[in-house]
Structure 1
Amino acid sequence: MVDGCPGCACGHDDRVELRTVLRHRLATQRLTGPPLPTAADTVRLLTCVQAQEREHACFSLALRSRATTLADVRAELDSGAFVRTHILRPTWHFVAAEDLRWILDLTSPRVERVLAVQLRRSSLAERDVGRALEIVAEALAGRNFLTRKEIGARLAAAGLPGSGQELGNLVMVAELRGVVCSRPIRGVQHTYALVDEVVPPTPARSREEALAELARRFFGGHGPASIKDFTRWSSLTVTDARDALADVGDGLERVDVDGVPHWYDPALLSGQSSARADSTEPPGSGTRRAHLFPTYDEAVLTYPSVNFPLPPESPAPAAPDQWSAAVVVDDVRVGTWKRTVGRTAVTVESWFLGTLDDEQCGQVEAAAERLGIFHGLPVRHVAGRS
C-alpha cells in the first residue's frame, strides 16, 4: 500500500502522504521511471487522453513514451494504432482502436443527452441527424478519407448545415455513434474514416463488464485517484462509479488523503524504481525533476481536489488552475507556461509564482529542452514572475 497510516494516531505528517500520492501518480503515468515503448501504449495505459489541443496532447504522449518527437507520435496516430475522436465526454480524446467501441457503447448515451440540448437550439431534428449520418457514410465509403470541411460541403449540397457549430455537432454525433473516427492528418486537419472500415471488430461487453473494466483501467492508469476524479473523467454517475469500483474487487489498494479514499493498482508500480522512492526524502536530495505539463494533461486535469500544491509564498488562490499548462518542480506547481512554434525555434515563456533556486531553474531548462526535442527545434526560454 501507499506509505502512511491515514486515520491513525501515530502523528504522521499528511503533507508527506500527499507527496507520496503525487509521486505515485507520476510513476503510474510513466512521467518518472521507465517510459512506455510507444505512444499507443500510453494511450492504452490512460485509456482516454483529452486531446482537443492536438499537438499539446501529442506532447503528453511523448513525455510518457519512447515516441519522443511529434513526428513519432503523428506516425502512430496516422497508422490508426489510436484515434482522435469525441468519446467519454463531449470533447476530443485519444483512444486506442481496440477500446473505441466498448467505451462508446458505455458512455455515449450520457454524452448525447448533453449534446441534444445544442442540437435543439440549432433546430436540428433527429431526422436531419439521421440524414446527415447517411450522407457522411456514403461520402466516406471505400476508405475515402475526408476533412471536416470536405464533409461539410457534402452536407451543404444536400441542404444540411455545412459549417460552424452545427456541422461540428453533426460530426460529433457521428463520432459518438461509432460511425466515424479520425484517420491520417492532411496538412493541419485530420481526416475522417468509417469506423467499420478502419477499426477491426472487437467483442461486445455487457454494461456491467464495461463499467468494471473502465474503473479498473482508470484507477490503474491514473491512481491514486478518488471517486470524484473517476466521475469527472468518465462522465458516469456516482452510483455507476461506486458499483464499478466494487466490481473491480481486490485488484486495487486504497489510501486516504485528507479523509477521502483514493485507489490505485500496485501492480503497475512494481518494477519502477521511481515508485519505490522514500516518501520522506527531503527536497534537494538529488530527486528533483521539472515537468512542463501541456494544456489538459492527464496528470493535472484529472484531479480537481488533490493536485500539485502551489508554493507556500504564492499570492495566487489555493486551488491551482487545471486548465492552463503547468510547470511542476519538486511536486509543487510553481507556475505556468506557453509555447510558440516558429520556423527556426520554439519559444517557451514561463511565469513563476515564487523564486526558484539554481537547481530548480536548471531542471525547468531541461524540461524546456525536451519540448525542443519533441518539435525538432532549438528552444528559446523566457522566464518571468507571475
Structure 2
Amino acid sequence: MTKTPSSQAPVLGPRALNRATLDRQFLLRRAPVSARAAVEHLAGLQAQEVKPPYYALAARLDGFAPEDLAGPLERREVVRIVTMRSTIHLHTAADALTLRPLVQPARDREIGYFRKGLVGVDLDRLAVLAREFVETEPRTMKQLREALGAEWPDADPQSLAVAARCRLPLVQVTPRGLWGRSGQVSLTTVEHWLGRPAEPAASADDTVLRYLAAFGPASVKDMQTWSGLTRMRPVFERLRPRLLTFRDENGVELFDVPEAPRPDPETPAPPRFLPEFDNLLLSHADRTRVIPPANRGRTWQANTFYCPLLVDGFLAGVWRIIDEALVIEPFTTLTGARRAEVAEEGARVLDVLHRDAGYDVRFGTVIV
C-alpha cells in the first residue's frame, strides 16, 4: 500500500467521521447479527450497570430481545469484567481472557493511586489470597474487603479491594447482569468462571485494528483514550503500511483499516436512544464526531448521568424513564418531522425492552 504523506492525506470533517463511526457501530442501520457477535465486533460494551448493554444492543441490532443477551450471559459466552478505562465492560469469553491481560499495565498503574492505603501490603500475597477466596465461591466486595482486612488490619479496606480487583481478572457472576433478574455483585476469577486457563494477552496490533474497525477513523490518542493504554504510537507506526491515513479539520492524523465503511457525510442517520456511558461517546480523545461543542457536558449534572439521544447522528438531547413514561428532552427545538421520528424510535425502544410495562413516550424535562 502506498504511504500517503500526512500533509497530503484527505481531510475528514465531523460529519464524515460521524457517519463512518455510526456505520461501524451499527447505528446507521440496525445489524442482523447476534448479540454475541455484536459484542465481539464492538470490542465490548460499557456495563457499569445492568441495563445499559441491553439498551446499547436494542439501538444497534435488528430483532433484538433481552433474552438474546441474557442467554449468552447465563451460558457464560459473555461476561462482565473490568477492562478498558478501569470500568466494567461486557465482553465475549474469549475477549475477557485476552483483552484483560492486554490492559493489565493500566490496572497496575491504578493500584499506585491507592498506595497510601496499602503500606506494608505484599501485593503478590494479596493476589494469591484473594484468588483462593473468590474461587472457593463467588464473593461480594464487602466479603473481599473483610477477608483481606483480616490479613492486613492496618491497611485501608477499600484500597485492599481495589488492589485485588486490579491484580485479578474478576468477573461479576450471574444472576448479576440478567434482564429482570439481576442480583448483587458477586465476584470470582474469569478463569474459574469459564473453566478455562489464562491466555496470553491479545496482540496490540490486532487490538488496534479491531478498534479502528469499530471506532475509526481515529488517532493514536483516540485509541489510547478508549483502551486506557499509553505509548501506542509505535504500534500505529508498525501498522502504517497496512492502514489508510486521513486528517481531521485540526490537522490531527487519523488512521483507518482500508476495508471499513466511510459513507457519504450526507447519509441519513435515524434517531437513536443510547444508554449512559455508551462507548460511542467515550472512545475518542476528540469527541466532536458525535458531540457538538455546544452540547459538551450536557449528559451529566453533579453525580447524575443521563442517557444520550442522537438526532442526525449527533448528541441532541437526553432521555430517561420516569414513572410511567420515556421522557425525552431535546437540547433545541426539533422540527415536526424530527420530533415524530424521535417519538417513533422511543416507542420502538419501549416495545423491545418494556413491552409489558405500559410506558408512554412524551417530551419534557429530564435534567433537574
Into which bin does the TM-score normalised by the smaller protein fall?
A: 0.7 to 0.9
Work out whether residues 39 and 73 of structure 1, in 8 Å CA contact, stay in contact via their aligned partners in 2. Answer: yes
Match of 1:94 in 2: 90
- Cα gap change, 1:252 to 1:115, in 2 (>3 Å): same
Match of 1:263 in 2: 255
Match of 1:298 in 2: 279
Q: Tell me which amino acid in the other structure corresponds to 1:192.
A: L
Give the whole-Å Cα distance in 2 for the aligned partners of 1:74 and 1:329.
29
| Partner secondary structure for residue 236 of structure 1 | coil
Match of 2:205 in 1: 212
CA-to-partner distance for each residue in 1:216-267, whole Å, 9 max, x for gaps?
1111111122222111111222xx2211112234443222220222223342
Q: Tell me which amino acid in the other structure corresponds to 1:383.
A: F
Is residue 76 from structure 1 mapped to residue 72 from structure 2 by the alignment? Answer: yes
Unaligned 5+ segments in structure 1 are 1-5, 270-274, 282-286, 311-315
Match of 1:126 in 2: 121
Give the whole-Å Cα distance in 1 for the aligned partners of 2:65 and 2:154.
38
Match of 1:338 in 2: 320
- Aligned-pair identity in percent equals 21
Is residue 247 from structure 1 mapped to residue 227 from structure 2 by the alignment? Answer: no
Give the whole-Å Cα distance in 2 for the aligned partners of 1:370 and 1:191.
33
Unaligned 5+ segments in structure 2 are 1-5, 177-181, 301-305
Give the whole-Å Cα distance in 2 for the aligned partners of 1:150 and 1:72.
32
Give the whole-Å Cα distance in 2 for the aligned partners of 1:125 and 1:181.
27
Give the whole-Å Cα distance in 2 for the aligned partners of 1:160 and 1:85.
28
CA-to-partner distance for each residue in 1:77-116, whole Å, 9 max, x for gaps?
2322222122232222222221223333332223322232
Work out whether residues 53 and 295 of structure 1, in 8 Å CA contact, stay in contact via their aligned partners in 2. Answer: no
RMSD between aligned alpha carbons? 3.3
Deviates more, 1:23-32 or 1:373-382: 373-382
Give the whole-Å Cα distance in 1 for the aligned partners of 2:277 and 2:146.
31
Work out whether residues 58 and 349 of structure 2, in 8 Å CA contact, stay in contact via their aligned partners in 1. Answer: no
Deviation at 1:295, TM superposition (A): 1.0
Q: Name the structure, 1 or 2, with higher relative contact order (CA <8 Å, separation 6+).
A: 2
- Cα gap change, 1:231 to 1:102, in 2 (>3 Å): same
Match of 2:221 in 1: 228
- Cα gap change, 1:73 to 1:375, in 2 (>3 Å): farther
Deviation at 1:353, TM superposition (A): 1.8
Work out whether residues 173 and 186 of structure 2, in 8 Å CA contact, stay in contact via their aligned partners in 1. Answer: yes
Q: Tell me which amino acid in the other structure corresponds to 1:255.
A: F
CA-to-partner distance for each residue in 1:277-311, whole Å, 9 max, x for gaps?
x4346xxxxx351011211111122234233354x
TM-score where L is the length of structure 1: 0.76
Give the whole-Å Cα distance in 2 for the aligned partners of 1:160 and 1:44.
42
Deviation at 1:75, TM superposition (A): 2.6
- Cα gap change, 1:161 to 1:91, in 2 (>3 Å): farther
Q: Aligned pairs, how many? A: 346
Match of 1:374 in 2: 353
Deviation at 1:159, TM superposition (A): 6.6
| Partner secondary structure for residue 85 of structure 2 | coil
